[in-house]
A and B are shown apart, each in its own frame.
Chain A
C-alpha cells in the first residue's frame, strides 16, 4: 500500500509538519514526479483526521445540505424496502373495524337473501314435483300397486298420509331456509329478552312474598 519512501519525513525536500496542507500537496507532487505506483490514501485519511482533530474543519452549508440529503434518501429507501409491518400501519387500525362490521352485515343480512334465492329455486323444483305427484294421484288410470314396486307404493302411501313436499325442498332442509337461518341468529336475543322478563317477574314475586311475610309478622 504505502511506501515508506513517500513519507514526508523521508523526503529531505519537505520538512514541514504533516498537519500542514502543503505537506500533502508536496507528497502528491513527489509521487507523480517519481511515477511510482501505489496509494497513500489510507495514510492521508489518517492525516486528515489528525488535522481535523487539531482544528475542526467547517463544512460549507451546501456541502452539509448535500450530506443530509444523501442520508435522507438512504433512510427513505430503507423504510420503503423494509418498513413497518402492515398491521402496524394506521390505516389498518382505522379500516379494520369498518370492514369487520361490514362482514357482520354481510353474514346477517345479505347471506340469507342469497339463500332465499336458492330456496326459491328449490321451491320451484319442489312445486313441480308436488304437481307431478298430485297429477299421478288424481289420475283415474292410476296403475295398481305392483308387488315389485315398493318405492312406488311408499310414495303413494306418503301422498295418502301427508304431502311429501312438506318435508322436502324448503322444509326438509329446515336449517337451509332463510327464515331458519335468521331465526338461528336472532333467537338468542329473544331468549335473553324473555329471560330478563321472567327474572323480573320472579323478583317481583319474591318481593311480594317478603312483603307478605313482613305483614304477617306484625
Chain B
C-alpha cells in the first residue's frame, strides 16, 4: 500500500461532514420556510424587511469599524419605528423584530458601559421586543435568542426563578427548532 495515495483522514471527515451538514441545513431552512403565518398586509412585511435589512447593514458596518455606540444607536433608532403586529406583518414581522431586539440587547449586555442602561431598563427592552404574541409563533431562532437574553437580564436582577423559567422556554424552543431542522420538514 502506497502511503502517498492515502487521502488525509481529516479531509475525508470534513468533506463528509460538510456534505451532510449542508444537506441538513438546506432541508431545514426550506422546512422552516413554509411554516410562517403569512402577513395580512404583504406591503407592511416587505417594507419592514427592507428597513431591518438596511439597519443590519449599517450595524455591521459600524461594528466593523469598532463603533459599538453607533451600532447601538442605529438599533435604538430602529426600535423607535412602528412595528406591525402579527395580523398585519405575519410571523416573519414578529421574528424580524425579535432579531433586531436580540441584537440590541446582546450589544447592550456585552457593552454595559456604552449608553448605560440599568438591568430594569434592559428587561423592558427585551420584553418590549418579545411582545405579547411570541408564544403564538412556531419555534424559531430569533425568539429563542431573545428569550435567553431576557433570562440573562432577569438573572442579573436576581430573579433567578423567572430566569430559569425563561431559559427553559428558550431551550424548549431550541429543541423544537433543532428537531424541525433535522427532520427536514418531516412533521
Chain A residues close to B by CB (< 8 Å): 82-83, 85, 87, 96-97, 99-101, 103-104, 108-109, 123, 130, 158, 161-167, 170-172, 174, 177, 179-180, 182-183, 186-190, 192-198, 200-202, 204-205
B112 touches A193 (CB 8 A): no
Closest approach, in angstroms, between the C-beta of A206 and any C-beta of chain B? 10
Assess whether A192 is in contact with B109, with CB atoms less than 8 Å apart.
Answer: no
B117 contacts partner chain A, Cβ-Cβ < 8 Å: yes
Q: Which residue of A lies closest to B35 (CB)?
A: A193
Choose one: B1, B6, B36; the contact of A197 (CB below 8 Å): B36
B113: interface (CB < 8 Å): yes
- Known A-B contacts A85-B6, A194-B49; the reply to A104 vs B140 at CB < 8 A is no
* Nearest-CB residue, chain B, relative to A112: B174
User: Do A201 and B16 have beta carbons less than 8 Å apart?
Assistant: no
Given contacts A190-B140, A194-B96, contact A100 B13 (CB under 8 A): yes
Q: Check B145–A192 contact: CB distance below 8 A.
A: no
* A residues less than 8 Å from B7 (CB atoms): 87
Among B12, B118, B155, the one with the most A-chain Cβ atoms within 10 Å of its Cβ is B155
Cβ–Cβ contact B112 & A158, under 8 A? yes
Number of interface residues of B (CB under 8 A): 63
- Quick check: is B70 within 8 A (CB to CB) of the other chain? no
Question: Which A residues are CB-close (under 8 A) to B109?
Answer: 166-167, 171, 174
A164, A179, A187 interface centre (most CB from chain B within 10 Å): A179
Least CB separation from B19: chain A residue: A100
> Which of A104, A174, A177, A183 is close to B17, meaning CB atoms less than 8 Å apart?
A104
User: Which of B20, B33, B148, B177 sits near A177, CB closer than 8 Å?
Assistant: B148
Contact between B141 and A183, CB atoms less than 8 A apart: yes
Known: A96-B12, A104-B21. A194 touches B95 (CB 8 A): yes
- Within the complex, the shortest CB–CB distance from B10 to chain A, in Å, comes to 12
Q: Which residues of A contact B90 (CB under 8 A)?
A: 197, 201
Q: Give chain A residues whose Cβ lies under 8 Å from the Cβ of B96.
A: 194
Q: Across the interface, do A158 and B113 meet the contact criterion of CB distance under 8 Å?
A: yes
Whether A202 pairs with B29 at a CB distance below 8 angstroms is no
**Residue interface mask B168-182, A partner, CB < 8 A = 1:** 001000100110010
- Which B27-43 residues have C-beta < 8 A from chain A? 28-30, 32-36, 38-39, 42-43
Contacts of A187 in B (CB 8 A): 99, 141-142, 145
B148–A201 touching, CB < 8 Å: no
Mark interface residues in B1-18 (1 if CB within 8 Å of A CB, else 0).
100011100001100110
Q: Are A193 and B33 in contact (CB under 8 A)?
A: yes
B140 A100 Cβ-Cβ under 8 A: no
Supplied contacts A87-B7, A163-B118, 10 more A-B pairs, CB within 8 Å: A96-B12, A101-B20, A166-B152, A174-B109, A183-B141, A186-B178, A192-B30, A193-B36, A194-B96, A198-B46
B181 lies within 8 A of A189 (CB): yes
Residue pair B5, A100 in contact (C-beta under 8 Å) = no
The smallest beta-carbon distance between B163 and chain A, in angstroms, is 10
Whole-angstrom distance between the alpha carbons of A193 and B45 in the complex?
A: 13
Contact at B13–A197, with CB atoms within 8 Å?
no
The CA-CA distance from A195 to B32 in the complex, in Å, is 11
A96-B16, A104-B21, A183-B141 are known contacts. Are A189 and B32 too (CB-CB below 8 A)?
yes
CB distance from A204 to the nearest CB of B (A): 5
What residues of B have a CB within 8 angstroms of the CB of A100 in the complex?
13, 16-17, 19-20
B20 A104 Cβ-Cβ under 8 A: yes
* Min CB gap A121→B, angstroms: 15
A202 touches B33 (CB 8 A): no
- Bound Cα distance from A200 to B42, whole angstroms: 8
For the complex, what is the distance from the CA of A103 to the CA of B96, rounded to whole Å? 31
Q: 1/0 contact trace for B92-123 toward A, CB 8 Å?
A: 10011001001000100111110011110010
